[in-house]
Amino acid sequence: AVGTAIEGGEGAMGEPSTSTLEVEVKAKGSAKEGVKRRYESWPGNETFFCGGACVTGPYYWGIVGTCLLILIPCVVFVVFVAWPLYEDLRDSDSGGGSKEIGAYVLLAVSIALPCLSLSSLFCSGCMDPGIIPRAPAPLGNTDHIARTRHVEVNGHMVLVRYNDTCNFYQPPRAHHCSVLNDCIERFDHYCPWVGTTIGKRNYRFYLIFVFSCTVLCVFTFACSAYLVKIRSDDPDTSVGEAIRGEPGALFMMAYVFIGIWFVGGLSGFHIYLLSRNQTTYENIRYSYDRNSANPYNKGCLANWAEVFCVRVPARNCDFTEVMPEKEENPTAAL
């Protein structure tokens, strides 16, 4: 191609000749051919969408099921509980008093809480949790590489392990997720309800999802019970008749009563972990409170601020990056 460009020479007034322009166009075309994005040859088990911008686990349908478990009951709640309550409160105070304002607030919260839960669900489930790119495989025999070594963290010695799959010593708090088949920074756990691993980058959104679901359960149960109470306040209506007359409220109370034990317990557990700056994996594996001091504990307020008051860390790897197709290891250039 270079030889052809030289032979073509320059035309009049020093402008490139036609043959030179043709060669340049062909060169650019060949540069675009045979390339692909980094995620297309990624060695892990992740599933990618939107050209690598969205990253989730191999069993991503779990997030769809969780979405339906939230969305369907919330539609039932808004139609059969929140809207009747809104109309009752609005009609009982047509003068623009506190009840009418409360009616608008109730309807707004009934819509905002499910939106918060669903948005945080998809944020936690569709973003890179903190994947650490693999290092190139070492040449020759690896028996000389020590399996473990100690590093200092905040004045404490922490044991780190060599990972034969990713070819490096795992950073402190990192762990190789067997589902994604990649090392994750600040690994917490793999969550089938979210469809991916919870790590350093999506832990905040996972907590918002769990906490908002807990508040949503309490809110829907209270509103459903209040609607039944309003109906039973009628002198001609007994409590049993009021319950039978509001099947939507009865369904919601039974549904969230079951769900609150799960998300409520999970919220309490993660409040405990967050206050002590532990991950789920560390709590099960190391038991800092019983066996040794936690090197990551900065105090309750500082621990919470470390999760909620900092920017989301940048990705360790840009999966949308275009790379030459001949590059066999997509992590080699990182």
Write out the two tokens for 310: 């900092």
Residue 328, C-beta contacts closer than 8 angstroms, at least 6 positions apart: 41
- Which DSSP state fits 142? -
Confidence at 25, pLDDT banded by 50, 70, 90: very low
Least confident stretch, 13-22, 29-38, 124-133: 13-22
Binned at pLDDT 50, 70 and 90, residue 17 comes out as very low
Helix (H), strand (E) at residue 71: helix 61-77
Supply the pLDDT for residue 287. Answer: 62
CA distance 198 to 205: 9
Q: Distance between CA 168 and CA 161 in Å, rounded?
A: 8
Q: Which of 54, 126, 183, 191 is catalytic?
A: 191
Average pLDDT over residues 167-189: 95
pLDDT confidence of residue 137: 86
pLDDT score for 206: 98
Element (H, E) at 156: strand 156-163
Contacts of range 97-106, beta carbons closer than 8 Å, 24 or more positions apart = 106/82, 106/223
- In this predicted structure, what is the pLDDT of residue 156? 86
Beta bridge partners of 48: 55
DSSP-assigned letter for residue 16: B
Average pLDDT of the residues of the chain:
85
> How far, in Å, CA of 122 to CA of 202, rounded?
10
More confident residue, 245 or 121: 121
DSSP labels, 97-139: -HHHHHHHHHHHHHHHHHHHHHHHHHHHHSS---EEPPPPPPS
CA-to-CA distance for 169 and 147, rounded, in angstroms?
A: 8
Model confidence at 34, pLDDT cuts 50, 70, 90, reads low
Q: Say whether 198 sits in a helix, a strand or coil.
A: strand
pLDDT value of position 93:
66
Q: What is the pLDDT of residue 30?
A: 37
> What integer pLDDT is reported at residue 143 of this predicted model?
78
Q: Give 43-56 pLDDT, tens digit per residue.
A: 999 999 999 999 99
Distance of CA 101 to the CA centre of its chain: 35
> Average pLDDT in the 209-220 region?
97
Q: What's the pLDDT score for residue 31?
A: 41
Give the model's pLDDT for residue 157.
87
- pLDDT at residue 18 in the model: 44
| Neighbouring C-beta atoms of residue 89, cutoff 10 Å | 21
- Span 57-68, average pLDDT: 94
252: part of which helix (H) or strand (E)? Answer: helix 247-275
Q: Among 43, 311, 45, which Cα is nearest to 200's?
A: 311
Catalytic-residue membership of 115: no
pLDDT at 235 > cutoff 60: yes
Q: What pairs with residue 176 in β-bridges?
A: 183
Distance CA 180, CA 14 (A): 57
| Region of poorest pLDDT, from 61-70, 175-184, 320-329 | 320-329
- Whose CA is closest to 315, among 77, 70, 54, 112? 54
Average pLDDT over residues 191-207: 96
pLDDT of residue 2: 36
What distances in angstroms separate CA 51 from CA 48, 116, 236, 318, one per listed residue? 7, 26, 62, 11
Q: Best-predicted range by mean pLDDT among 152-161, 227-236, 310-319? A: 310-319
What's the rounded mean pLDDT across residues 303-330? 84
